[in-house]
A and B are shown apart, each in its own frame.
Chain A
């Protein structure tokens, strides 16, 4: 089959993704907001795909939010990252797999800087030695955890229990993909599909039966902006960015949003709630919100994992309309059950964005 036009362009941006033996570093945001996603990811990697994934408990934040909040100087961040590399080296691994897009972007930026300025790398090595007595090798392969799911999307598809298809119409679900700015905007060649025609999530969606929507503000930032969200006085910027995306995607009638970066799903989820609260406006069909997912959650859903094991009860915008569209078997009554106790009996009514 001849591949033409825009579909051919992303093929120029292929990247090498390691086959096995990954050193996993966690995401601060994903751990706090989407813990079920990291749990699901490791379950898929280890139990479904039978891959070797190692985590060193001594790893820390890369300082990414502090770095992009500009309180942490560049050399401090580089040295903390060098310590992450040292722990990887000491653990006997060389394929670094961060769970966070900000971290992934930062590791990419630092490796690029060291490539252009070897004296900076040498200085950082000395500083790390002075502070921790550690030495490191730079990673042989750097792939975000979504790159790895993309690599094995066909294997996941062969084991899938569900497809991203509307069970009532038989039509593919219409999916908005949101890549996250720091995945490829700085270094397009380091992301699958580059910055202009990102394919890392689109490849998963198409493989699992869905149809990706190409809408005008597809590349626009979700609005995190680090200090722009974290400081209350600046949050107007954050919600304005998300709103611009919602307005742009609405005419295309998306069934769901799939995200790459740990922060974006939180903003795209919560700002729908706020816009609804402030203006009474919703962006999905029938007065509902547009359910927002992490790529780990979507992979878990097609593999038939229980939605409440994935952590979908932590979303503010209700995910259940999408579960019903696909025809996923689940127990709505179990949503807020913890230790056998229903912790929020009335939640199913007031947590919906309507």
Chain B
């Protein structure tokens, strides 16, 4: 017999859920102020209402939905909520649980978490920075414009000109973070569940890629990565 999970109880274990939600009175101020609700088919009031109801089936649907991936985590909702709740924190708890249960691959927006892991996650573990943009050109970021092509073409000289310690020893901008420091970060990830989260994202994505008949190798140059990074089925936004 399959294990019966109580998703509400699982969410309660996330400190952000406890901090972010005291009895919501459903006034809808969070939705009124939410930039994501203006753009996407998204209503944080309804998300909170569903979670608060404790309805296990409905929460499972939410965990597998596109809905929980629309929030931009600006936390405007926290400022305005008359009860001091933070639907943005509730969303973070839902996203965490969705990934830990492998449900995130059931939605187009959720599947993008592999790209987040392979880009930002890799930079954190390899370099000690959330971003490390030398070599990241306008093919992935055309919005960066011609100035970015110039920056990329002149990266080392430009950063030196602006006082950076690019790849250097000691302090400074884009310094080489010592290997011992990076080892400590990796150990922290091992001890605190960061590595397990990354492995879960990889494992669930591999299974999904097989199901979708798309190849998924290492890194970012493969069919599945390109698919999740670029695909938008145009069903997400509000029609004006």
- Which residues of A pack against B, CB within 8 Å? 26, 28-29, 31-33, 35-36, 38-39, 55-61, 63-66, 68-76, 78-80, 83, 105, 113, 116-117, 120, 127-128, 130-132, 181-182, 184-186, 188, 195-196, 219-221, 223-228, 230-237, 239-241, 244, 270-271, 273-274, 309, 311, 313-316, 336, 338-339, 343-344, 347, 350-351
Given A182-B75, A235-B143, do A71 and B133 touch, yes or no (CB 8 Å)? no
Docked pose: A296 CA to B193 CA in angstroms:
37
The 9 closest A-B pairs by CB, nearest first: A225-B72, A39-B163, A76-B194, A60-B128, A65-B130, A181-B74, A131-B187, A221-B74, A233-B232
Asked if B178 lies at the interface with its beta carbon under 8 angstroms from chain A, I say yes
Docked pose: A343 CA to B155 CA in angstroms:
12
Asked if A237 contacts B40 (CB within 8 A), the reply is yes
Residue among A32, A130, A338 making CB contact with B174, cutoff 8 Å: A32
Given A74-B14, A274-B143, do A113 and B189 touch, yes or no (CB 8 Å)? no
Asked if A76 contacts B189 (CB within 8 A), the reply is yes
- Contacting residues, chain A, for B162 (C-beta < 8 A): 35-36, 39, 309, 311, 314
**Which residues B105-146 have CB closer than 8 A to chain A?**
108-109, 112-113, 115-117, 119-121, 124, 128-133, 140, 143-146
Docked pose: A261 CA to B146 CA in angstroms:
23
Asked if B76 contacts A63 (CB within 8 A), the reply is no
Nearest-Cβ distance from residue A250 to partner chain B, whole angstroms: 19
Query: 8 A-B Cβ contacts within 8 A?
Result: A57-B170, A59-B181, A80-B188, A186-B79, A231-B228, A235-B143, A274-B143, A338-B158
Asked if B216 lies at the interface with its beta carbon under 8 angstroms from chain A, I say no
Asked if A270 contacts B143 (CB within 8 A), the reply is yes
- Contacting residues, chain B, for A29 (C-beta < 8 A): 130-131
Docked pose: A55 CA to B132 CA in angstroms:
20
Given A57-B170, A58-B181, A316-B144, do A225 and B121 touch, yes or no (CB 8 Å)? no
Nearest-Cβ distance from residue B212 to partner chain A, whole angstroms: 16
Chain A residue at minimum C-beta to C-beta distance from B16:
A74
Query: How many positions in chain B have a CB within 8 Å of any CB in the partner chain?
Result: 89
Asked if B12 lies at the interface with its beta carbon under 8 angstroms from chain A, I say no
Docked pose: A186 CA to B77 CA in angstroms:
9
Nearest-Cβ distance from residue A91 to partner chain B, whole angstroms: 11
- Contacting residues, chain B, for A132 (C-beta < 8 A): 184, 187-188
Asked if B154 lies at the interface with its beta carbon under 8 angstroms from chain A, I say yes
Docked pose: A35 CA to B164 CA in angstroms:
7
Nearest-Cβ distance from residue B133 to partner chain A, whole angstroms: 5
Chain B residue at minimum C-beta to C-beta distance from A72:
B194
Q: For chain B, what secondary structure do more than half of its interface residues adopt (helix, strand, loop), or is it mixed?
A: helix
- Contacting residues, chain B, for A230 (C-beta < 8 A): 115-116, 119-120
Asked if B121 contacts A130 (CB within 8 A), the reply is no
Asked if A185 contacts B140 (CB within 8 A), the reply is no
Chain A residue at minimum C-beta to C-beta distance from B40:
A237
Asked if A316 contacts B145 (CB within 8 A), the reply is yes
Docked pose: A219 CA to B180 CA in angstroms:
41
- Contacting residues, chain A, for B147 (C-beta < 8 A): 313-316, 347, 351
- Contacting residues, chain A, for B191 (C-beta < 8 A): 79, 127, 130-131
- Contacting residues, chain B, for A241 (C-beta < 8 A): 35, 39, 72
- Contacting residues, chain A, for B116 (C-beta < 8 A): 66, 69-71, 227, 230-231
Docked pose: A121 CA to B174 CA in angstroms:
30
Asked if B224 lies at the interface with its beta carbon under 8 angstroms from chain A, I say no
Residue among B19, B112, B178 making CB contact with A113, cutoff 8 Å: B19
